[in-house]
Structure 1
Amino acid sequence: MDITAVMADDKADWQPLWEAYLDFYKQDLAQEVTDQTFARFLDAQESMFMVVARVDGDMVGFATFLVHRSTWAKDGYCYLEDLYVDDKARGRGIARALIERVEKEATLRGMERLYWVTHDHNTRARALYDKVADLTQLVHYQKVL
């Protein structure tokens, strides 16, 4: 397995994985949003990044993350926004390896904390998350604007 930063020519391999990820969360994004999102991963001025996992040259997963300042930390935090591994590639440690790579990237950028959220019903992912991080007591709220 190889985990690398995303490259411009990865879009065709990434998009089917992205669409499967969106389907899992029952999300329907305009192609314009997907195109803009991918472009942000390639823009050196952005604080949004993506790493991709390949097995035998085939892309099988990805993780997206962003770094940001915090009022509670000197150096900031890293938010793991999206994590997905293709159904056919699950159970081989790819998700864990992607999380570990994001952790490494966050550390290299001087971040003090890595955090993420998931649906409470995402039991398979939560089984892994319980092994690699601490479950907090925070409750997540949102309001669509």
Structure 2
Amino acid sequence: MAPIQIRPIERADKSAWLPLWQAYLAFYQQTLSDEVTDGLFERLLSDGFHDGLVAEQDGKLVGFVHFLEHASTWSLTPTCYLEDLYVDSTQRGGGVGRKLIEAVYAAAEQSGCSNVYWHTHDHNTVARQLYDRVGILSNFVRYEKRKWEDSV
């Protein structure tokens, strides 16, 4: 078996990336329109705001990571948000997730970011085993409000 290669996402990856993206959304019990998915893919390729990397082994995509850098009110340097990370279920535990995270760390360092952060569900125990080894669990609690929800 060939080693895992981490590289920037390319237009030709869409048909292999899409089933991984759909599996990622299913894990988080989310459904997005084709328009949103297509828009994301285009941003990963071209906008300079979102970045995407893929993990490839033996010519097959086995994972992806999406991330973005942004300004911070707590630092003069940018910070990096690791927004989406997914590894094919048949490849978990083999180092793919770690390599994708380390690639984001390298990109963030090269861009002068002060840190990398991400969120996951508390029930995501398999991924959290990796996250506990490559990051530090923060004390922050996340709140959100969608624009179409009424205020309480």
Q: Which residue number corresponds to residue 113 of structure 2?
A: 111
User: What is the Cα deviation at residue 42 of structure 1?
Assistant: 1.0
RMSD (CA atoms): 0.7
Q: Which of 75, 78, 88 pairs up with 1:76?
A: 78
Correspondence 1:38 to 2:41: yes
User: What is the Cα deviation at residue 40 of structure 1?
Assistant: 0.2
**Distance in 2, Cα, partners of 1:131 & 1:111:** 21
**Distance in 1, Cα, partners of 2:115 & 2:129:** 20
Q: Which residue number corresponds to residue 121 of structure 1?
A: 123
Determine what percentage of the aligned residue pairs are the same residue. 49
User: What is the Cα deviation at residue 75 of structure 1?
Assistant: 1.1
For structure 1, which runs of at least 5 residues remain unmatched after alignment? none
Q: Which residue number corresponds to residue 16 of structure 2?
A: 13
Give the total of aligned pairs. 144
Q: Which residue number corresponds to residue 95 of structure 2?
A: 93
> TM (normalized to structure 1)?
0.97
Q: Which of 21, 26, 34 pairs up with 1:23?
A: 26
User: What is the Cα deviation at residue 46 of structure 1?
Assistant: 3.0
Larger radius of gyration: 2
For structure 2, which runs of at least 5 residues remain unmatched after alignment? 148-152
Matched residue SS, 1:20 = helix
User: What is the Cα deviation at residue 76 of structure 1?
Assistant: 1.0
State the one-letter code of the partner of 1:60: V
Q: Which of 65, 68, 72 pairs up with 2:67?
A: 65
1:13-45 CA distance string (max 9 Å, x none)? 1000000000000100000000000000111x4
**Distance in 1, Cα, partners of 2:48 & 2:97:** 24
> TM (normalized to structure 2)?
0.93
1:98-124 CA distance string (max 9 Å, x none)? 000000011111100100000000001
**Distance in 2, Cα, partners of 1:108 & 1:47:** 15
**Distance in 2, Cα, partners of 1:79 & 1:15:** 21
Give the structure with the larger strand fraction.
1
The structure 1 segments of at least 4 consecutive aligned residues displaced by more than 3 Å after TM superposition are none
